[in-house]
Each structure stands twice: as C-alpha cells, then as structure tokens.
Amino acid sequence: MSTYSLSDGLASGAPRLSRAPLLGSWVRESGIGILASVAWIAFGLCCLWWEDVGDWSRTHSLGIAAFVIAAVALFGTVGADYLGPAGRALRQRAPWLVVLGVFLTLWEVATAKFAWLPLPFFPPPQSIIEVYTDDLPKLLDSVFASVKLQLGGYLIGATVGFLTGVSIGWSRAVGYWVHPVLRFIGPLPATAWLPIAFFTFPSSWSASTFLIALATGFPVTVLTWSGVASVSNAYYDVARTLGAKPSFLVLKVAIPAALPHVFVGLFMGLGSSFAVLVVAEMIGVKAGLGWYLQWAQGWAAYANMYAALIVMSLLCSGAITLLFSIRDRLLVWQKGTVKW
C-alpha cells in the first residue's frame, strides 16, 4: 500500500538525524522524572539530616518512604517504555511528583526542623502520618459513620426529589399543591432546621438523615422538574403518533430527556449535603468525621484535624467521582461532557 512505502522511505532516511533528537526527547521524557526523584530524595534527607524540634515517632519511617518514592519515580519514568500503561501514567504525573516533593520538603523544613511556622497549629508531615497509624481505629469508625449517614440521607433525598420533580413536571394538579411548598421551604438552608430537627426527631441520627435528605432533595426536585418541563413537544408528538401511552411518555420520553438536568441537581445536592453532614456531626451526632474534627479541636490535636480533613476531602472527591462515572455511563449519548 502507498502509505507503507511512504513511511518506509521516511524510516530509511531517519538514522542520520536521529542522535540529537533522541537525546532531546529522552531528556524531555525522563528529565522530569529525575527531577521528581531529586525532590523526594531532598525530602527524605531533610527528614533524616536534622534533628526534629519536637517529639515525633514517624520521622525516620517517613524519610525511608521518601527514598522509596524517589526510587519508584526514577526507575518508573526512565524505564516507562518497559512498564506499559503504569509507566505512561507515572510519566504523565511526574510534574506533580516534583511539585509534591518540593512542597513536602518545604513543609518539613518549615515545621519539624526549624519551626518557622508556629508549632501546634502547623504540624509536620510525620505527625499527620502518626495520626493515621496510631489513631486509625477511631478514624475508621468516624469514616464509616459519616459514609453511612451521608449515603442514607443522600439516597432518600435524591429518590424523593426525583419523584417529586417528575410529578410536578408532569402533573398540573401535583404542581399546584407542591410548587408553593417548594418555593416556601426549598430555599431555606437545611442547617436552619438543625435545632428543631434535633429535638423533634427520635434520634440525632434520624434528624441528620432528614436534613441531609432535605439538602439533597431541593436541588434535585427543582432541576428534575425543569428538565421534565423543558422536554420538547416534538418528542411527545413523535411518540404519540407511534402509539405511546402516557406511561411510556413519562418513563421513556420525559425522564430520559430530563436526565442531564437531573444530574446537575444531583451534583448540587451532593455539595450541599456534605455541608449539612459536617455541621450535623459537629453539633448533634456523636460520630463521624465532623465529630472527629470537633473532638480534635477540643484537645488542640491539630495533626488529627489535618488528617481528618484530608480523609474528608478524599471521601467527598470520591463521591463526586462516583457520581460522574454513573453519569458518564447513563449519558453516553451526550457529546462533549466534562471530564472530572
């Protein structure tokens, strides 16, 4: 084929030019990996070289871990061609590894070694590691409690919101009764209900579930409703001439057409329900990451607070990622969707 002969010709001309560009591309592709490994070695050396100004038990392990990461970064990027997708992924993330290594080095030096930052408020990396190793059971309990509360409230809120939204969008009678209630109560921040909810509900857990469901339900309802209401009549006309009954129009036309809107509502609901979750845990529920934060503050255990914050942000980000991947699966038919 003609394309083959064309590329053959290019290949035979290549060797004469190759040396300099090859070196250049090698430096470009592996140089950042080497830089990353230098940054992490620096971090490791900082850990081990100077004495800590305080009493932290994980400094030594952290230094060793930094050297291990440096080695992985070095061999992983230089040998990326032999490592397949993992190597490529590592190479692609190498610039971030550099930044992270530099940041950790500065953090280490500024806190544990010279205490440039005031100490109890700015704990060094090793003290946060220490929380993860020494306070793990309590942290895991808190994670479990938060996830359980959040998941229950969110699922209830999303389901009720979706059903309400579809009903208002579809039925004038339902709209007549529900719309004013929605307008009156919906915009109120769910946290405003906290004091009432905690003494009217039988348990603080059920009260928080209700509040999280409320925070989720409002945006989901409004966006589902607007999604259903904005479905083009042309779709209904087509379906009706093809013999569709009302149930088909709702389930197979209105809902799928409204789904992109519904997901916007689900994302907004997720965001506002996180806020309610944390506040509810801080104020009423005696478990969960919000409570852990509160507890750590009470003991001035700042490292525990940072550790819990990191876990919390991983969880929230994980939840968003999960929702994005569900959306991508359900809305494959849409073009140009945002990648999270």
Partner 1 sequence: MVASAALAEIDAHRAAGAALDIEQVSHAFDIDGAELPVLSEVSISVEPGEFVALLGPSGCGKSTLLRLVAGLDKPRSGTLREDEVRITRPHPSRVVVFQDPTLFPWRTVWDNVALGLEAQGILKSQRHRVDAALDLVGLSDFRTAYPHQLSGGMAQRVALARALVNDPKILILDEPLGKLDSLTRITMQAELVSLWQRKGFTTLLVTHDAEEALVLANRVIVFSDRPARVKADIRVDRPYPRHRGDPYLADLRRQILGLLGLDATW
* Residue ranges that bind partner 1, judged by CB under 8 A: 232, 234-235, 237-245, 248, 252-253, 256-257, 259, 331-335
Nearer of residues 12 and 241 to partner 1, judged by Cβ: 241
Residue with token string 């509040």: 211
List, as one string, the DSSP characters of 247-276: HHIIIIIIHHHHHHHHHHHHHHHHHHHHHH
How far apart are CB 287 and partner 1 at their closest, in Å?
41
How far apart are CB 222 and partner 1 at their closest, in Å?
22
Instruction: Give the separation between CA 53 and CA 113, rounded to whole angstroms.
Output: 6
Among 216, 224, 225, which residue's Cα sits nearest to residue 157? 216
How far apart are CB 253 and partner 1 at their closest, in Å?
7
Nearer of residues 255 and 285 to partner 1, judged by Cβ: 255
Nearer of residues 173 and 242 to partner 1, judged by Cβ: 242
Nearer of residues 100 and 239 to partner 1, judged by Cβ: 239
Q: Which amino acid, 221? A: T
Q: Do 292 and 139 touch, CB atoms closer than 8 A?
A: yes
Nearer of residues 115 and 330 to partner 1, judged by Cβ: 330
Nearer of residues 248 and 306 to partner 1, judged by Cβ: 248
Termini Cα distance of the chain: 42
Separation in Å, CA 149 to CA 29, 141, 278, 311: 46, 12, 10, 16
Instruction: Give the separation between CA 254 and CA 261, rounded to whole angstroms.
Output: 11
Q: Which amino acid, 217? A: G
Residue 34 phi/psi, 5-degree rounding, is -65, -40
Nearer of residues 11 and 338 to partner 1, judged by Cβ: 338
How far apart are CB 164 and partner 1 at their closest, in Å?
22
Nearer of residues 63 and 169 to partner 1, judged by Cβ: 169
How far apart are CB 334 and partner 1 at their closest, in Å?
8
* DSSP label at residue 192: G
How far apart are CB 214 and partner 1 at their closest, in Å?
30
Q: Which amino acid, 282? A: M
How far apart are CB 318 and partner 1 at their closest, in Å?
27
Q: Which residues contact 74 (CB under 8 A, 6 or more apart)?
A: 33, 34, 36, 37
CA 200 to chain centre: 33
How far apart are CB 1 and partner 1 at their closest, in Å?
23
**CA atoms within 13 A of residue 142's CA, in its CB half-sphere:** 28
